[in-house]
Amino acid sequence: MNYLDYIMLGGLILLAAVVVIRIWLWRRQSADQVADAAIKQPQTAGVRGPVAETRSTSFTPSSAETDVAGTATPEKENAAAVRSEAPPAQPEITDPIILIKTFSAPLEKRLSAIRLAGEEKNVQAVTSLIEILYEPDQDIVTAAAESLGAIGDSRAIEPLLEISRRSDIQLMKDIADRLDERTVAEISSETALAVVSHQNPYNFKEMVVFKIDQLPKDYFQPDGSPIPRKELVVKGLKDNSQQMRQMAAKAAIGLDHEELVEPLIEALGNQFEVESVRFMAAEALGGMQNEKSVDSLLQALKDDNVAVRYSAAAALSGRKDDRVVMALIERLNDPDRYVRSSVAYALGTTGEPSALDALFSCADDDSEAVRFSAAKAIASFNPDDVHAELARRLEKSDRSMILLAVEILANIKDDRAVKILRGYLKHNDSDIAYRTSLALAGTENSDIIEDLIEAAKRLDNELVALMQEVANSPAGLAMPTREPVVSMGAARGVAANLEKLAKKLHDSSANIRGSAANTLGDFKLQEAVDILSGAVKDKNEFVRASVVSALGRISDFGALWQVVALEKDRSEEVRYAVVKALAPSTEVMALECLQRMMTDDKSKNIRRAAKLALERRSN
C-alpha cells in the first residue's frame, strides 16, 4: 500500500466513526425522549411523539380462545395440541454474506456476521453491508458502518456520507419534535422550524437515496469500483431510468466541473423531466456559480413548477448583477410562500440597496414564513444601513412594520437594537410586546431581565382580565352547562359573554384569540359552535388548534363536523389537535376520520397518534 492508500483508509475509518457517533447521538436523543415521556405522563395520557416499535415473538391468545372461567374445552385442547407441534426445521444459514442480507434471520446472528466481515476485512461483503445501511434497525446500521470503515473499500464512501447526513436530519427532527405545547403556543411552527432546522419544504435530496448496489453494470469500472462521480453525473442525467437521473442529479451537488454545466442546464430546462431532477440540477448549478447557468436559472424563476422556482431562487444567491437582483425582486410577488421565502433569502445575500428596499415590502406579506425570512435577510445587510432604513420607516408607526422591525432587531441584537426593543416591551399592542419579549429572551443584562419580567406580568394580567371579564357575567353565571337556561338574566349574561369572546377572536394578538377560543369550548351551546366555526381559518396555527380543541370539548351541535373539516390542515399542530378532539368521540364520522388520518396523513407522528387513538377506542 502506498501513502495515498493509507490516507484513504484512514479517512474511511474516520468517516465510519463519525456515522456511528451520530447514530448513537440520535438513539440517545430518542431514549431520553422515551424516558422523559415515561416520567412526565402516564402511558394512557396523550398520543404525541414517536413510539418505539419492538419485535415480538410471543403469542397471546385472544379472549375467544378461553372461556369465562379460564378452563380449556376439549376442542381448545386439540387446537392447542396442533399449535404446539413443532414446525418443520428450517435449514440454518451458514454463509455469512447471505446471513448479513437475510432480514428474517435472528438479530444476534446477523450482528455477529456483520462484525466478523469487518474483523476479517472481507471485501466480498461490502455490497451487502452497504445495502443494510438503509435498514430501520439502528444496531444493524451501526455495525455495518463500523465494518465498512474497518474494510476500507472506496465503494462505501458515498453511502456512509449519505447515512451521516440522514442521521443529522433525524437528530434535528427529533429536536423539533420535542418542542412542547407551551413552546408551540409561543411561536408558530413555521418560525420554530426555521429556527431549529431551516427545513426545506422540497426535501428531494433526502428522498433520493444513492445506493451503489442499484447502479447498472455499465456504471462500474473493470476493477469493480464505480465510475468517477463526474462521469456518473454526465452519464446518469441522460439515462432512461428516472432513478438513475435522480441519483445523478444528487451526485452533481457539490461538484464544480465545467463539463457538468451543460448537462445540468439541459436537465433543468427539460419541462418533461421529473421535478426532483430539475430541483437538484438547479441546486447543483447554484453551487458552481458558473456564469453560463445564469440565463437558465433566471428562466427557471418563472417556471410553472413551484419546486423548480424555489430551487432556482436559492441557486441565484450571492449574485450581485442587476438583472439577477431585479428578477429576484420581481419574484417577491410569487404566489407560493416558500418561493417568496427563498427569494427573500437570496436577496439578503446580494447586499444591494435595491434588494434591501424590496425586502422591507415583505412586512405586509400574509405568510409568517416570508416575513421571518425577510427579517433574517435584512439583518444580514450592513447594520448602519439597516438602522437608518428602520428609523425612516418606523416614523409612521405602522403595526406590520413594527412587527418586522422586531424580527430584524432580534437578529441584529447590537446595542442599538436592544435599546429599541426595550421600548417595544411597553407597547400597548400585546402581540408586539410579546414578540419583543421573545426577541430579548436570553439577554444577560439584569436591567433587561427586569423589563422582561415586568412585560410578562403585564401580558399575564391581560389574559387574567379577559378570563375574569368572561366569568363576571351580570347574572353571576361563569360558564353555562347543558341544562336548559330558565333565567332571562342568566340568558343575557351568557349572550354578553359570547359577544365579548366573539370580539376577542378578532384581536390582533394570537394569544388573546387562542385564549378566547379555549374559553368558548366551555359553552356547550350552538351559539359557541357558530362563533368558533368562523375562526377555523385563522392565519395562526395555535389559534386554529385552540379552536379545534374547543369544538372537540363541545362535541354537539355539529361541532365535530367542523373538526373533521380540518383533518388536512397544513399545520401538523392543528391536525394533532384534530386527533385529540376526535379520540373520545363515538360518532362514526370521527372513527372514519381517524382511520383516514392513520393511513393518509403525511406526518408519521399524526399517523401514529391516530392509530393509538383507534387502538384505545377498541380496548
pLDDT at position 590, please?
A: 87
The pLDDT of residue 243 is 86
Residue 544 has pLDDT above 60, yes or no: yes
CB of 575 within 8 A of CB of 14?
no
Percent above pLDDT 90 for the chain: 24
The number of residues in the chain equals 619
Least confident span in 10-19, 26-35, 361-370, 539-548: 26-35
Task: Round to whole Å and give the CA distance between 285 and 110.
Answer: 42
Q: Are residues 205 and 155 in the same domain?
A: no
Which triple of cell numbers denotes residue 495? 349572550
Residue 200 lies in a domain: yes
Task: Among 7-11, 55-59, 208-212, 331-335, name the most confident range.
Answer: 331-335
Q: Is the pLDDT of residue 140 over 90?
A: no
> Does residue 441 form part of some domain?
no
Percentage, residues of the chain above pLDDT 70: 69
CATH number of 525's domain? 1.25.10.10
Residue 259 has what pLDDT? 93
| 15 in a structural domain | yes
Q: Are residues 149 and 215 in the same domain?
A: no
What is the pLDDT at residue 463?
65
Contact predicate 530/555, CB 8 Å: no
pLDDT digit string, tens, across residues 505-542: 888 777 778 878 888 888 778 888 888 888 888 888 88
Q: In the prediction, which pLDDT does 49 show?
A: 39
593 occurs within a structural domain: yes
Mean pLDDT within 185-204: 43
- Element (DSSP H or E) covering residue 315: helix 306-315
CB 256 within 8 A of CB 288: yes
Cα 63 from chain centroid? 41
285 shares a domain with 172: no
Q: Among residues 294, 315, 336, which one ends one of the domains? A: 315
Lowest mean pLDDT among 32-41, 212-221, 495-504: 32-41
- Of 50-64, 365-379, 517-531, 537-551, give the lowest mean pLDDT range: 50-64
Q: Comparing 6-20, 315-329, 522-536, which segment has the lowest mean pLDDT?
A: 6-20
Pick 590 or 181 by higher pLDDT.
590
Give the pLDDT of residue 298.
95
Query: Does one domain contain both 20 and 136?
Result: yes
Distance CA 525, CA 530 (A): 9
Residue 46 placed within a domain: no
Arithmetic mean of pLDDT, 396-413 = 87
The pLDDT, as a whole number, for residue 21 is: 67
Has residue 218 got a pLDDT over 70? yes
What DSSP string runs through 323-338? Answer: HHHHHHHHGGG-SSHH
CA distance 232 to 133: 22
- For 355: left if phi > 0, alpha if psi spans -120 to 50, otherwise beta; the answer is alpha
pLDDT given for residue 194 in this prediction: 35
Taking CB atoms within 8 Å and a gap of at least 24, the contacts of 610-619 are 610/579, 612/47, 612/51, 613/47, 613/579, 613/580, 613/582, 613/583, 616/44, 616/583, 617/583, 617/591
Clarify whether residues 123 and 195 are in a common domain: no
Range of the domain at 198: 190-315
* Angle 137-54-586 from CA coordinates, rounded to 5°: 130
Name the band, by pLDDT with cuts 50, 70 and 90, for residue 258: very high
Q: How many domains does the chain have?
A: 3
Query: Please, what is the average pLDDT of the chain?
Result: 76
Which of 178, 210, 227 marks a domain boundary?
178
In a domain, 335, yes or no: no
- The Cα–Cα gap between 185 and 180 comes to 9
d(CA 32, CA 328): 44
Within this chain, do residues 9 and 146 fall inside the same structural domain, yes or no?
yes
For residues 19-39, average pLDDT: 53
Whether 378 and 386 have beta carbons less than 8 Å apart is answered as: yes
Tens of pLDDT, residue by residue over 567-619, are 999 888 899 889 989 988 888 888 889 989 999 988 888 888 888 888 877 66
What kind and span of H or E run contains 21?
A: helix 3-40
Q: How confident is the model at residue 82 (pLDDT cuts 50, 70, 90)?
A: very low
pLDDT band at 73 (very low <50, low <70, confident <90, very high): very low
Report the distance separating Cα 452 and Cα 472, nearest Å: 30
Contact 560, 589 (CB under 8 A): yes
Considering only residues 619 and 187, tell me which one the structure prediction assigns the higher pLDDT: 619
Whether 202 and 137 share a structural domain? no
> pLDDT band for position 145 (50/70/90)?
confident
pLDDT digits (tens, 9 = 90+) for 434-481: 888 888 876 666 677 777 777 777 776 766 666 666 555 443 344 444
Query: What's the CA gap between 367 and 365, in Å, rounded?
Result: 6
Indicate if 143 and 282 belong to the same structural domain: no
CA distance 252 to 305: 21
Contact 190, 544 (CB under 8 A): no
The reply to whether 15 and 115 lie within a common domain is yes
Of 27-36, 143-152, 490-499, highest mean pLDDT: 143-152
Which cell goes with 108? 444476534
Lowest mean pLDDT among 6-10, 314-318, 361-365, 552-556: 6-10
Q: What pLDDT does residue 3 have?
A: 55
162/220 same-domain check: no
Tell whether 15 and 120 lie within a shared domain: yes
Domain boundary among 108, 143, 178: 178
207 plus 127 within the same structural domain: no
- What local confidence, expressed as pLDDT, does residue 128 receive? 84
